[in-house]
Chain A
């Protein structure tokens, strides 16, 4: 009987302590104890004289286990088992001991011992039952805690993995950002080069015009100088002759010629200065600029420039300058470049139409200025417009003409930057840039600049 109890206790210990996983060394002892107990249990049937001895051995084993359970902190979780078992085993032990020592006394009190044993047994079962329940609850709680911990661990590891991923992505993005920045830098450099190229291209267009424009005033300077030399000789002659009226007339001519020399000298000077301004790219500043003079200057330059390149080119040039247009605070070189660009485009448009061999077509380009009041405001605007009677701009192209690199010219003939740069310049001046066009009839580009 006690052997069975021993086996039960061992089994119970093993299960509740989870010794298989938590206490492998103790587990060995438990398993061995169970095997030995089983063997002994089998032996006591075939070999009854052992029965008494085995009974006492079992007591010893159980007491030792109880002692261990109370003493060893490892067994703390199963203390309730000990409390459940102690009363029963003690009563049984005392009963058996009494039976051995004083059999008559035992027999006299057998009923008492039996009852005590019975209640102790009930007590044990109840304790085990309660304990089992508590243990299950605890187990459940522990399981939950374990699961929580597991979840926490999973989320921790996920978080770590995510952090690694984020770091990786960040690194990738940083790399991309850097390469994009490099690309942007390259693009900026290219843009600067292109703008420079466009400036140089328009300078090239201007050079021939400028040469012609300078040649004319220089011719006048030279010719009037020569004339004055002759007039001086005549003046001396007339002085000798004593013809004072003639002397006065010649002197008046000389004076007039000197004014002409000065005038044409200044004209050449202004052209050279304009050319220098056009090629210069920095140190630009706004200054009061006579819009009519500026428009006229670039009109002529553009015309002669184109004529120098293409001898067959010709067009009727109209200028309708508003005398009240006056001066405006602008970067003259920039606005000049815009006007030059618009006029060059206009010439190109009328020349293309002329080449198509239209009967009775007269290529005409008109540059006009106008001072007008801004709509609904007191401020005044200066309007500069360049109008041609070319083929106009097709609707499909119209919304692209201000885009950089858009050009309708054959490859290599236009940078596609003229209008986009012009647009930028006008916008930077706080102005407005408009285009009115009708297919087959021509186009008009209109610049509106605020006076103040």
Chain B
């Protein structure tokens, strides 16, 4: 499974690589990282045909996670990739907006990696 993680915090990369150490090692999962909404769109444009699960933060400078979500769901050809939104606030407002935009699931910060692993495996 190919997972694209979108977050403006660069240390997220290190964290995911260690948290999914075994999965990466076994080739079960592959992670790509984009540090902004714009970078994520670029990546998606270049890797259109790969099955992608997108994990995106909402609160980012520049293009926010919500905008990214909107663009992905609007543009990407069917079937659209699964998008899981991560928010630091976990408030109803962002939840509703993201739901309306077609988000597939939600996770709140701080990330519970055990839960995340379960979710990823279920997909």
- Interface positions of A (Cβ within 8 A of B): 212, 215-216, 218-220, 222-224, 226-227, 231, 253, 256-257, 260, 264, 303-304, 307-308, 311, 314-317
Q: Is the CB of A226 within 8 A of B59?
A: no
Contact across chains for B109 and A220 when beta carbons are under 8 A apart: no
User: Contacts A314-B63, A316-B62 known; A219 to B110 CB distance under 8 Å?
Assistant: yes
Q: Is B14 an interface residue (CB 8 A)?
A: yes
A220 B18 Cβ-Cβ under 8 A: no
A314-B9 contact in complex given A212-B88, A222-B110, C-beta closer than 8 Å: no
Contact of A256 among B14, B19, B62, B111 (CB under 8 A): B14
A residues within 8 A CB of B94? 311
B4-57 interface with A by 8 A CB criterion = 9, 11, 14-15, 18-19
A219 touches B111 (CB 8 A): yes
Taking CB atoms, residues of chain B closer than 8 Å to A304 are 59
Q: How far is the CA of A264 from the CA of B15 in the complex (A)?
A: 13
Tell me the smallest distance from the CB of B12 to a CB of chain A, in Å: 8
Least CB distance, A223 to chain B, in whole angstroms: 5
B59–A257 contact, CB under 8 A? no
Chain B residues with CB under 8 Å of A308's CB are: 89
Give bound CA distance, A219 to B57, whole Å. 13
| CB pair B62 A220 closer than 8 Å | no
Given the known A-B contacts A224-B15, A257-B18, are A314 and B110 also in contact in the complex, defined by CB atoms under 8 Å?
no
B61 in contact (CB, < 8 A): yes
> Bound complex: CA of A226 vs CA of B18, how far in Å?
10
Residues of chain B within 8 A of A311, CB atoms compared? 93-94, 97
Bound together, the chains give a CA A317 to CA B60 distance in angstroms of: 10
Which residues of B does A touch, CB under 8 Å? 9, 11, 14-15, 18-19, 59, 61-64, 67, 88-89, 93-94, 97, 109-111, 113
Contacts of A260 in B (CB 8 A): 11, 14
- Chain B nearest CB, measured from A276 CB (Å): 22
| Contact, CB under 8 Å: A227 / B18 | yes
A216-B88, A314-B67 given; A227·B15 CB < 8 A: yes
Residues in A whose Cβ lies below 8 Å from that of B62: 314-317
Q: In the complex where A216-B9, A311-B93 touch, is A223 in contact with B19 (Cβ < 8 A)?
A: yes
Contact of A307 with B59 at beta-carbon distance under 8 Å, contacts A215-B88, A215-B109, A219-B111 already known: yes
Q: Measured between C-beta atoms, what is the minimum distance from A307 to chain B in Å?
A: 6
Could you tell me the distance in whole angstroms from the C-beta of A431 to the nearest C-beta in chain B? 28
Which of chain B's residues have a CB closer than 8 A to the CB of A216? Answer: 9, 88, 109
Q: Is the CB of B113 within 8 A of A223?
A: yes
Q: Is the CB of B15 within 8 A of A223?
A: yes
Residues of A within 8 A of B111 (CB): 219, 223
Report chain B residues within 8 Å CB of A231.
18
Bound-state Cα–Cα, A308 to B64, Å: 13
> In the complex, which residues of chain A have a beta carbon less than 8 angstroms from the beta carbon of B61?
303, 315-317
Q: Evaluate contact between B9 and A220: CB separation under 8 angstroms.
A: yes
Bound together, the chains give a CA A216 to CA B89 distance in angstroms of 11
B3 to chain A, nearest CB (A): 17
Interchain CB contact under 8 A, A223 and B63:
no
21 contacts between A and B (CB under 8 A): A212-B59, A212-B88, A215-B110, A219-B109, A219-B111, A220-B11, A220-B15, A223-B15, A223-B19, A226-B113, A227-B19, A253-B18, A256-B14, A260-B14, A264-B11, A303-B61, A314-B63, A314-B64, A315-B61, A315-B62, A316-B61
Docked Cα-Cα span, A311 to B62, in Å, equals: 13
Q: Which residues of A contact B109 (CB under 8 A)?
A: 215-216, 219
A222: chain B residues at CB < 8 Å are 110
Supplied contacts A223-B110, A223-B111, 5 more A-B pairs, CB within 8 Å: A219-B110, A220-B11, A220-B15, A222-B110, A223-B19
* Shortest Cβ distance from residue A326 to the other chain B in the assembled complex, whole angstroms: 25
Task: Name B62's closest neighbour in chain A (CB-CB).
Answer: A316
Q: Compute how far the CA of A180 lies from the CA of B93 in the bound complex, rounded to whole angstroms.
A: 53
A residues near B63, Cβ cutoff 8 Å: 314
* CB neighbours of A226 from chain B (8 A): 113
Residues of B within 8 A of A315 (CB): 61-62
**CB of A115, distance to nearest CB on chain B (Å):** 142
Give me the 10 closest cross-chain CB pairs, A-B, nearest first. Answer: A219-B110, A317-B61, A227-B18, A215-B88, A316-B62, A223-B15, A314-B64, A222-B110, A219-B109, A311-B93
The answer for the CA separation of A223 and B113 in the assembled complex, in Å, is 9
In the bound complex, what is the Cα–Cα distance between A222 and B88 (angstroms)? 14
